[in-house]
Amino acid sequence: MKVKMILPALIEARGLPVRPIKYSLFPPLGLATLAGYLDSSDEVLLQDEHVEKLDLNDRPDIVVIQVYITSAKRAYAIADTYRAKGVYVCLGGLHVTTCPQEAAPHADSMFLGPGEDTWPGFLRDFRQGYPKPIYRSLNRSLSGLPMPRRDLIRRGSYLVPNSLVVSRGCPHHCDFCYKDSFFKDGKSFYTLEADRALREISSLPGRHLYFLDDHLFGKNAFIHSLFRGMKGMGRVWQAAGTVKSILENPGLYEEAATSGLRSLFVGFETLTQGNLAAMHKTHNLGRDYEEAIRRLHSMGVMVNASFVYGMDDDGPDVFDRTVDWAVAQGLETATFHILTPYPGTVLRARLEGEGRILTNDWDLYDTRHQVFQPARLKTGELEAGYWRSYERFYSWKNILRAASTKADMAGQFRHLAYTGGWKKMEPMWNLLIRSGWVGRMRPVLETVLGIGPVRNPGTIPRGVPEIVNDPVEPPGELFAA
Ligand code: B12
Ligand code: SF4
C-alpha cells in the first residue's frame, strides 16, 4: 500500500522572502509517529511543506494530512486536490478535532484526538475495505507505542531533528490552552513507560534533545526514572515545565540538570494575579516567579519565558512592564503571544458569550493578531505592544543588560551567544536554510548549550551514536529563489 503523509505549511512559512528559523526547527513528529504503525511492506513518503516543495502529482492509496488551525486552508486545498483524483484522504490533528464540521467536506476519514488508538483501527478497516468516515479517540494509552519512523525525516533540513515527546497532554486546565479541547473525550495526561522513553532517547544520534511535551515534569515517578536513566548519557536537552514544578519539587530540577537540562520553557503568561485567576491558571497563582528563575539559573538552566497579552486585566502599560521585568530577571529568551481564543477552549466559549470574537479567519489565529475585543486595550494597542515587546526585549541594550545579571563570564557569554544566535541572526539562518545547511549548525547549538555553570560537562560516552555531519539534502525548489 502506498501512503503519503503531509504536514502543510502556513502561508507565512511558504511565502516570506526571509525564512524564520522556527519553521526549520522540528520535524513532523506526529506523522512520523503514525507512520510507525504501518507495515514494513507499505511504501511511505512523508513531506513537510515547511522545508520542501510538495509534489501533488502522485497517486498514492492514502493521503494523510495533519491539520493545524493556521494551515487549515492549505490542508483542505491539498485534500481536495487528491480527492478529485480519487485518492483516499485522511484528515486529523488539532484543528480537525475542534472543528470537525468544517473539515468533513474535505476528508474521506476524519480522526478526532490523538491517533494512537484510532489510526491502527482505521488501517485494519481500510485493508478490509470498510473504512469509517469518523474515528474518535477514547482509549488513551502509550503502551506498545512503536518508535516514530525517523528514517522518513530529512534530518539535515532541521536544526533540531531530535525532538521527542514522552507524554501526551498536561495535568493542568488553563482556559486558553488547546489541551482540554484536544483530549476532551478521555484521559488528558499520560506518559510512556520510562524504559520505552529511554530506548527512544538512546536511539537518537548526536547529543542534543528537545522534549516537546507540554509539561515534562508532570508525573514524578516517571520523570525520576527518566532522569536517572539519562544520567551519564552525555545529552544536552531542552523542555517545558511549570513554575509550580520548579518551586515544589526539591531535587527534581537538580536531577534534570545533572542529566543534561540546559534550558526550560516556562509559561509565566502574566504578571497579574487577576489574569491568572480569570484564566484558571491556578498553579501559577501566588507563586514567586523570581525565585523560580533564580533556582533555574543557579543550576545553569536558561529560561525561555512565555507571556500572553490581552487578558482582561491588561492595560496599555502591560507591554513595557512585562519586558522590563523579564530583562531585570536576566531571562535568556522570551516568547510573547497575543491571547488567541482557539476553537473548543473555555476562553472561546466565554468570549463568544460576551460577543467579543472579531473574526473567524483562522489564518489570523497565529498569536500575532488581535482576533477578539480586549477589555482595556484600544484597537491597535495590542498588536503594537506585542511587536514592541519583541523589539525591546531583543534590543542589544536589553540583551546586554540581561546578560550582565549572570554571575560569571561563562554565563554571560552563553547568554549572549544563545540569545544573539536566535534573534539577531535571521539573515544567517535564512541563508543556511536556503542552502540546505541548517543541520550543520547543530554542533554549534550543542556547544553553546554546554557552556557555563553546568553540572554535567556532557562528554559523549561510548554507545551513544553520534552523527557529526548529517547528509545534506539539496535545497528544495521552494527556497531556491
Ligand atoms: C513543535 C510545535 C511547533 C513547531 C513545528 C510543528 C511540527 N513540525 O509539527 C513550530 C515551531 C513550527 C510550530 C509553529 C506553530 N505553532 Co506549534 N506547536 C508545536 C508543539 C509544541 C508540539 C507538536 C508536536 O510535535 N506534538 C507531538 C505529536 C506526537 O503530536 P501531534 O503532532 O499533535 O500528532 C498527534 C495527533 O495530533 C494526531 N494526529 C495529527 N495529525 C493526524 C492525522 C491523522 C490522519 C491521524 C489519524 C491523527 C493525527 O496523532 C498524532 C499522534 O498522537 C505543539 C504543542 C503540542 N503539545 O502539541 C504546538 C502547537 C501545535 N502549536 C500551536 C501554534 C499556535 C503554532 C503557531 C501558530 C505559533 C506561531 N505563533 O507561529 C505556529 C504555526 C504552525 C503551523 N505550521 O501552522 C498550537 C496550535 C493551536 C491550534 N489550535 O491549532 C499548539 C497546540 C501550541 C499551544 N499550546 O497552543 N509549532
Ligand atoms: S499548564 Fe500549559 S500545557 Fe498545561 S493546560 Fe496550562 S497552558 Fe496548557
Q: What cell does 399 get?
A: 540583551
Residue 463 burial by Cβ neighbours in a 10 Å radius (0-12, 13-18, 19+): exposed
**Domains in the chain with CATH codes:** 2-136 (3.40.50.280), 159-450 (3.20.20.70)
Q: Which residues pair with 167 in a beta bridge?
A: 191
**Going by C-beta distance under 8 Å and a sequence separation of 6 or more, which residues neighbour residue 378?**
316
**Average pLDDT value for residue range 228-244:** 95
Rounded Cα distance between 372 and 341, Å, is: 8
The helix, strand and coil proportions of the chain, stated in percent and rounded to the nearest 5, come to 40, 15, 45
Q: Distance, CA 97 to ligand 1 centroid (Å)?
A: 12
pLDDT at 452: 57
* Mutate-to-test residue for ligand 2 from 165, 266, 275, 281, highest number of ligand atoms within 8 A of CB: 281
Specify the pLDDT at position 467.
36
Name the closest ligand to CA 27. 1
Q: How far is the CA of 331 from the centre of ligand 2 (A)?
A: 21
The residue whose grid cell reads 545529552 is 235
pLDDT for 315: 98
User: Which of 281, 283, 215, 287 shows the shortest CA–CA distance to 252?
Assistant: 215
| Ligand at shortest distance from the CA of 170 | 2
Centroid of ligand 2 to alpha carbon of 121 (angstroms): 30
Q: Please tell me the predicted confidence (pLDDT) of residue 479.
A: 25
Residue 210 backbone dihedrals phi, psi, to 5 degrees: -130, 110
Query: How far is residue 351's CA from residue 248's CA, in Å, rounded to a whole number?
Result: 33
Distance of alpha carbon 19 from alpha carbon 359, whole angstroms? 27
CA atoms within 13 A on the CB side of 76: 15
pLDDT for res 19: 67
Q: What tens digit of pLDDT does each residue of 321-369 get?
A: 999 999 999 999 999 999 999 999 999 999 999 999 999 999 999 999 9
Indicate the average pLDDT of the chain.
90
Position 14 scores a pLDDT of: 63
pLDDT higher than 90, residue 478: no
- Mean pLDDT for 273-290 is 97
Q: Does residue 473 have a pLDDT over 60?
A: no
| Mean pLDDT to the nearest integer, 46-54 | 93
Residue 13: predicted pLDDT: 61
110 forms beta bridges with: 91, 134
Could you tell me if 369 and 386 are in contact, meaning their C-beta atoms sit under 8 angstroms apart? no
User: Ligand 2: residues within 6 Å at CB?
Assistant: 170, 172-174, 177, 179, 214-215, 242, 267
* Predicted local distance difference test score (pLDDT) of residue 446: 81
pLDDT digits (tens, 9 = 90+) for 191-219: 999 999 999 999 999 999 999 999 999 99
pLDDT at residue 474 greater than cutoff 90: no
Residues with CB under 6 A from ligand 1: 7, 9-10, 22-23, 25-26, 28-30, 33-34, 64, 66, 68-71, 90, 92-95, 111, 114-116, 118-119, 165, 177-178, 212, 214, 342, 366-368
Mean pLDDT of 459-463: 40
Consecutive H or E run containing 157 = none
Supply angle C-alpha 320, 323, 327, rounded to 5.
135
Alpha helices in 144-272 (DSSP H): 179-182, 194-202, 220-230, 243-248, 252-258
User: What was the pLDDT predicted at 472?
Assistant: 32
Q: Which atom of ligand 1 is nearest to the CA of 366?
A: 68
Atom 74 in ligand 1: residue holding the nearest Cα: 70
What is the dihedral sign for C-alpha 141, 144, 147, 149? negative
Q: Which three cell numbers stand for residue 429?
A: 539562518
Dihedral over Cα of 239, 243, 249, 251: its sign? positive
What is the CA(85)–ligand 1 centre distance, in A?
28
Q: What is the pLDDT of residue 253?
A: 96
CA dist., res. 174 & res. 324, Å (int) = 25
Q: Dump pLDDT digits (tens) for 431-456.
A: 777 777 777 788 878 877 877 554 44
> What pLDDT was estimated at residue 457?
38
Rounded to an integer, what is the distance from CA 139 to the centroid of its chain?
24
Percent of the chain with pLDDT over 90: 79
Tell me how many helices (H) and strands (E) the chain has: 20, 14
Tell me how far apart the alpha carbons of residues 108 and 363 are, in angstroms, rounded to a whole number.
24
Q: What is the per-residue pLDDT for 418?
A: 85
In the prediction, which pLDDT does 17 show? 62
Pairwise CA distance, residues 78 & 63, whole Å: 10
Q: Is 408's pLDDT higher than 80?
A: yes
Q: How many CA atoms lie within 13 A of 151 on its CB side?
A: 6
Q: How far apart are CA 139 and CA 119, in angstroms?
A: 12
Q: Is the pLDDT of residue 34 over 80?
A: yes
Q: How far is the CA of 269 from the centre of ligand 2 (A)?
A: 10
Q: Which atom of ligand 1 is nearest to the CA of 25?
A: 11
Strands 189-191, 167-169: pairing kind: antiparallel
Burial 201-214, CB ≥16 within 10 A → b, else e: beebebbbbbbbbb
**316 φ, ψ (degrees, to nearest 5):** -60, -15
| Whether the Cβ atoms of residue 112 and residue 135 lie closer than 8 Å to each other | yes
Question: What is the C-alpha separation between 163 and 154, in angstroms, rounded?
Answer: 13
Q: Give the closest residue to 418 by CA, choosing from 454, 391, 445.
A: 445
- pLDDT score of 289: 98
CA–CA separation, 147 and 163 (whole Å) = 13
Question: How many whole angstroms from 68 Cα to the centroid of ligand 1?
Answer: 6
* The three cell numbers locating residue 30: 506526529
**Is the pLDDT score of 277 beyond 70?**
yes
- For 404-410, which contacts have Cβ atoms below 8 Å and span 24 or more sequence positions? 405/328, 405/329, 405/330, 406/297, 406/330, 407/453, 408/452, 408/453, 410/451, 410/452, 410/453
Q: Give the model's pLDDT for residue 465.
A: 41
Considering only 184-188, 243-247, 264-268, 353-357, which range has the smallest mean pLDDT? Answer: 184-188
Instruction: With a cut of 60, say whether residue 373 has pLDDT above it.
Output: yes
How remote is the CA of residue 286 from the centroid of ligand 1, in Å? Answer: 30
The number of the ligand nearest the C-alpha atom of 96 reads 1
Cα distance between residue 461 and residue 459, in whole Å: 6
**Who has greater pLDDT, 273 or 449?**
273
The average pLDDT across 313-324 equals 98
Q: What is the pLDDT of residue 413?
A: 87
Q: With a threshold of 0.75, does the pTM exceed it?
A: yes
pLDDT higher than 70, residue 15: no
CA distances from 321 to 151, 388, 433 (A): 46, 12, 35
pLDDT above 90 (res 161): yes
pLDDT in tens, 58-87: 999 999 999 999 999 999 999 999 999 999
